[in-house]
Chains A and B, each alone.
Chain A
Amino acid sequence: MERLRDLDEHLFRRESGRMVAALTRIFGVHNLALAEDVVQDAFCRALEVWKARGVPENPAAWLMATAKNRALDVVRRERTARTFAPDIGRLLETEWTTAAIVDEAFSHAIRDEQLRMMFSCCHPRLPEEAQVALILNILCGFGANEIASAFLTGRAAIEKRISRGKRVLASSRRLFDLADAEFSPRLSAVRRALYLLFNEGYHGACAESAVRVELCREAMRLTALLSEHPPAAGPETSALAALMSLHAARLPARLDSGGDLSPLVDRDRSRWDSRLVAEGLALLERSAAGHEVTAYHIEAAIAAAHAGAPSADEADWESIVSLYDRLMAVAPSPVVALNRAIAIARRDGPERGLEEIHAIEGRERLESYPFYPAAMGDLELRRGDREAARRHFAAALALARNPTERRFLEKRARTCESSSKN
């Protein structure tokens, strides 16, 4: 009754990144397109075989084994016509060593190859958004369509980003060498890309909550890969992992049962994932081992302060404000300043919060950010000026970037209308 065995719904996407990594190890990154062809071929074979014989007991291993056999075929067929990965190319020239080398690439090397691919995707010649798109495509197996819908960008733009990125990758024969002198700056770029990837899932514009959870999960999986590689681990990586866990813990409460943003996220903390909170706090502790306090450390500490309080009202707003002060010193931005102002309002009342908002430097950069007028609406409402609150929420609604935000802001706007009638 193997035919009745269920498929993990992300099987193909998840295995795709591992397969491409192993295949690129053999073929060389300049043959990335060939690696992707082999993966696609393995998928086609899976379809034919599984529909006749049922889903195998370990489908992931089946796909890997099939990709490995296809890789051997390709090497045997094309070893005279093509150059493969330069460091192992000579070993692939003879049948004596080919099988062992291919075996090796498909066993324990896969983790390293994924890391090297991640570092290669964060090439300094590529803008950050292209790095993120490339990681999503190659390592996480998302197609251009899915990336486009997650980022609310046109498919053509994403395809351009990906193909440009792949050209940059293919221009070097080998994947990034983890022992390279450029390791440390490249590591910062990798962390930054994973941070952006996580944020896209957490705050991003995509309306489909399942997609967003997957983005967060992928960012966490890749960050865990970094943590398992000692030179890439260390306090800053732990801090990044901590902030992801502490934020991901809120995901179940952030969206209500209908998939809408829930304004109750802070009030209903019983729905936070306590296992992730504990994991995040342990990671945060580990991140304190170094001397440096990075923006990731501070953001994780803020998230921890929230997670440690049973409700928003009971949170230690004094500490949260001073953490935002430090974050402003390390990584100032209008969005950080806005969040700081909201924390000050919690500590000192809505008037003080509004003053802080009006004093934000470069606040014209927040003009298209719906949560900027929405924050002012909240504070006006708390202060009792319903008319001003209504105006701010109307402005926020006009800026909503997707149906989820629109529904959320409509609800907020309605709150002040119903209370203004009273």
Chain B
Amino acid sequence: MSEFVYLFRASETEQREAMGTPERAQRSMQVWLAWIRDLEAKGHLKDPGQPLERGGKVVRGKKKVVTDGPYVEAKDLVLGFIIIEARDLAQAVELSTGCPMLEGGGSVEIRPVMKSPF
């Protein structure tokens, strides 16, 4: 088994849309919990990740310029991540297709965790 990180990205508008009314928020929550539980039940969930605040700071360059960020207007704001275990990248992709994020227009970036030779 190999480890993969899922990075969840969406714009703030997409996230707001998914949670727009109490009924929609309820549905979004239920499908997320169901998806995560399913990954867990099948032994794929390595780490459920951490919730991230939307705003923070970005430090850039040699001059270490500190700016506010990421910008909430960003199209692909990273909203969170989880770590899963899968046979290979193909299976990791397959497992990600059930992610509720995709229904609302967001994306899941799948990155294999590098293996060390020893």
**Chain A positions near chain B (C-beta within 8 angstroms):** 3-4, 7, 9-13, 15-16, 40, 43-55, 141-146
Q: Given A3-B40, A7-B30, A52-B49, do A44 and B21 touch, yes or no (CB 8 Å)?
A: no
Cβ-based interface call for B22 (8 A): yes
Interchain CB contact under 8 A, A7 and B26 = yes
B32 and A47 form a contact (CB under 8 A) = yes
Nearest to B25 among chain A residues (CB) is A43
Instruction: Report the minimal beta-carbon distance from B15 to chain A, rounded to whole angstroms.
Output: 6
B19 vs chain A, min Cβ distance (A): 5
A selection of 5 A-B contacts at a CB cut-off of 8 Å is A9-B26, A12-B26, A16-B22, A47-B19, A51-B80
Known: A51-B33, A145-B23. 9 other contacts (CB 8 A): A10-B26, A12-B29, A46-B25, A51-B48, A52-B82, A55-B33, A141-B21, A142-B23, A144-B21
Q: Is the CB of A48 within 8 A of B25?
A: no
Pick the most buried of A9, A40, A49: most chain B CB atoms within 10 A of its CB.
Answer: A40
In this complex, the member of B18, B40, B49, B51 whose beta carbon has the largest number of chain A beta carbons within 10 angstroms is B51
Residues on A with C-beta less than 8 A from B21 are 141-146
B2-40: which residues lie under 8 A (CB-CB) from chain A? 15-16, 18-26, 28-30, 32-33, 36-37, 40
Q: Mark B83-97, 1 if CB is under 8 A from A, else 0.
A: 000000000000000
Task: Tell me the minimal C-beta distance from A23 to chain B in angstroms.
Answer: 14
Q: Are A143 and B52 in contact (CB under 8 A)?
A: no
* Contact status B48-A53, CB under 8 Å: yes
- In contact, B22 and A12 (Cβ under 8 angstroms): yes
Asked if residues A3 and B36 are in contact (CB atoms below 8 Å), the reply is yes
Q: A3-B33, A7-B29, A51-B36 are in contact. Are A43 and B22 (CB under 8 A)?
A: yes
Q: A12-B22, A47-B25, A48-B80 are in contact. Are A7 and B33 (CB under 8 A)?
A: yes
CA gap between A54 and B51 in the complex, in Å = 11
B50 touches A (CB below 8 Å):
yes
Asked whether, in the complex, the Cβ of B51 is within 8 Å of the Cβ of A3, the reply is no
Shortest B55–chain A CB gap in Å is 12
Q: Are B22 and A52 in contact (CB under 8 A)?
A: no
A143 to B17, CA, bound (A): 13
Residues of A within 8 A of B79 (CB): 48
The residues of A that contact B29 with a CB separation of less than 8 Å are 7, 12, 46-47, 50-51
Most A CB contacts (10 A, CB to CB) among B15, B22, B40, B80 go to B22
A33 and B50 alpha carbons, distance in the complex (Å): 30
Task: List A contacts of B36 (CB < 8 A).
Answer: 3, 51
Residues of A within 8 A of B26 (CB): 7, 9-13
Output the nearest chain B residue to A141 by Cβ-Cβ distance.
Answer: B22
Measured CA separation A271–B32 after assembly (Å): 37
A141 to B28, CA, bound (A): 16
* Residues of A close to B52: CB separation below 8 A: 48
Contact B33 A143 (CB under 8 A): no
**Contact residues in B for A40 (Cβ distance below 8 Å):** 16, 19-20, 25
Nearest-neighbour CB distance to chain B for A58, whole angstroms, equals 16
A13 and B30 CA atoms in complex are apart in Å by: 13
Q: Do A146 and B48 touch (CB < 8 A)?
A: no
The answer for the CA separation of A52 and B16 in the assembled complex, in Å, is: 19
- Which one, B15, B23, B50, contacts A12 given CB within 8 A? B23
- Docked pose: A3 CA to B45 CA in angstroms: 12
Which A residues are CB-close (under 8 A) to B25?
A: 12, 40, 43, 46-47
A125 CB, min distance to chain B CBs, angstroms = 26
A143→B24 CA distance, assembly (Å): 9
Bound CA span A55–B32, Å: 11
User: Could you tell me which residues of chain B, from 48 to 73, have a CB within 8 Å of some CB in chain A?
Assistant: 48-52
A-B pairs with lowest CB-CB distance, top 4:
A143-B21, A48-B51, A141-B22, A12-B22
* Chain A residue with Cβ nearest B12: A44
A272 to B6, CA, bound (A): 51
Say how far B35's CB is from chain A's closest CB, in angstroms.
9
Instruction: Give the nearest-CB partner of A54 in chain B.
Output: B48
Expressed in whole angstroms, the Cα–Cα distance for A50 and B80 within the complex equals: 12
Indicate if the CB atoms of A47 and B28 lie closer than 8 Å.
Answer: yes
Q: Is the CB of A13 within 8 A of B23?
A: yes
Q: How far is the CA of A47 from the CA of B40 in the complex (A)?
A: 17
Residues of chain A contacted by B24 (CB below 8 angstroms): 143
**CB nearest to A140 among chain B residues:** B22
